[in-house]
Each structure stands twice: as C-alpha cells, then as structure tokens.
Amino acid sequence: MLAYFVICPAGMAPDEEAHFYRAYEISQGDLLSKHISADGSGGNVFPNAMRNFRDPETVIDTNDTSDFVFSNTSLYSPVSYAPQAIAIRIADIFTDRPYDLFVAGRFGGAVFAFALCVLALCFVPFDRRLLFLIMTFPLTLQEMISMSPDGVLIALSLFFTSYALYIAIKKKRVDTADMIIIAAAAWMLALNKIVYVVFCLLVFMIPKEFFKSRKQAAAFRLTVILVAVILNI
C-alpha cells in the first residue's frame, strides 16, 4: 500500500478528482451537496485553487472562489468519505495547500482500510492466505490508497464477512459486543452503496441457537436488515 501510495500520482484513480471534492466538502461541514447550475447538478462553492490539487505549490485563496460541479459523487453518503474527510479536516489546520489536503485524504482512507484488513485477517476462521491474496490484488491496492470510498468499502466488506464467519464457526455464541459490531458494519455498508445492502443477509449465517433466545435472534436479524434498507433508501 505504501508503494502504491508513492507511485500513483494525484488524480490517477477513476473519478478521484470528484471524490476529492466530495470529501473536502464533507470536511468543511457540508454533508449534503448544494444544487449548482440550472439543471440542479450537485456541487459546491470552493476556492479555485482546489482545481490545482495536483500542484504541490498551489496555495488556497479563500477570497477566490467559484462553482465546482461533481454530480457523480455528490449523492454519496457522508459516511462513505468519513476517514478521508476527517484526515482532510485535520490537515486543514496545518496547511493551506490543496495538494497536502489531497494526500491527507488519501492517507486517512488508506489507514482505515488497512486497519479493517488486519482485523479481517485476525478474525477469519479459515483460508487466511486466500483472503490476503484478495487484499493484495493491484486494483484493490489502488482503490485503498485513493480518494475513492471503494477501497474502504472493500475492506469493510471483507471485515464484515470475516467477523460473521468468526462468530458462526469459532465463537459459537453471540454477545452484545458482537451484535453492535455486526450491526454497525452492516449499516455502514448499506450507507456506502446500494448493492452492498445484500451483505446484511450474512446475519442469517449465524445460527439462532447462538443467541440467548430465538426471539432475540429474530429481533436482531430483522433490525439489522430493516435499518440497513431504510438507511440505503
């Protein structure tokens, strides 16, 4: 990941510029994009210097602003960019260069994805080498060090699957902490992309006998799936 972080130039990943603008917007406290232009395209008003995020020497002038349109990423949930946005917000305290903010956003997403991958490898009850191989695919690594939320989404999917398998095969019981972790991961997946809501069905892989009662098992499964669908909509 560190090698890809250095090798891949700013803006190399697909739609990375638009992802950066959305993450920057969230870091500034605008969780929902503004409607820019007559056709209602999503975007916001940023300093013009943000267009030159590939240039390490560019400095932000807050008095020189214009409309930025990034309709393809403006509909993404703020949760999708949380690691990147937090890192950008922290970097914004120390620098006024768009390039530094971009690198910070990349770094925040990469660190969070890395942590999820490590946890996935710790919890998966079998085929750890196969899981590690998936994590080291070139495209997987490129996404994990980019501004795109897809890298974190991949890592979150692997962690969610590994933890569900860990409970079903190794732990053979479900406690409150397990339910919180599974629910939180499922809802984060649902908030990232529509199609990932199907991952919530993995809760049925955990036998109902592992819960304190069948009523608790049914209530937990129903809650996870219903909340995920509502959040997704």
Task: Provide the residue-wise pLDDT of the chain in tens; the chain has 233 residues.
Answer: 889 988 999 989 889 999 999 999 999 999 999 888 777 889 999 999 999 999 999 999 999 999 999 988 998 899 999 999 999 999 999 999 999 999 999 999 999 999 999 999 999 999 999 999 999 999 999 999 999 999 999 999 999 999 999 999 998 889 999 999 999 999 999 888 878 888 889 999 999 999 999 999 999 999 999 999 898 88
pLDDT value at residue 48: 95
pLDDT value at residue 16: 94
pLDDT value at residue 195: 83
Q: In this structure, how many other beta carbons lie within 10 angstroms of the beta carbon of residue 178? A: 19
Evaluate if pTM is beyond 0.85. yes
pLDDT value at residue 140: 93
How far, in Å, are 146, 212, 222, 225 from residue 172 at the CA level? 37, 12, 20, 21
pLDDT value at residue 231: 86
Here the tokens at position 78 are 């703020």
> Three-class SS of residue 202?
helix
pLDDT value at residue 207: 92
Q: In this structure, how many other beta carbons lie within 10 angstroms of the beta carbon of residue 90? A: 13
Q: Is 172 left (phi over 0), alpha (psi -120 to 50) or beta?
A: left
pLDDT value at residue 88: 97
pLDDT value at residue 203: 92
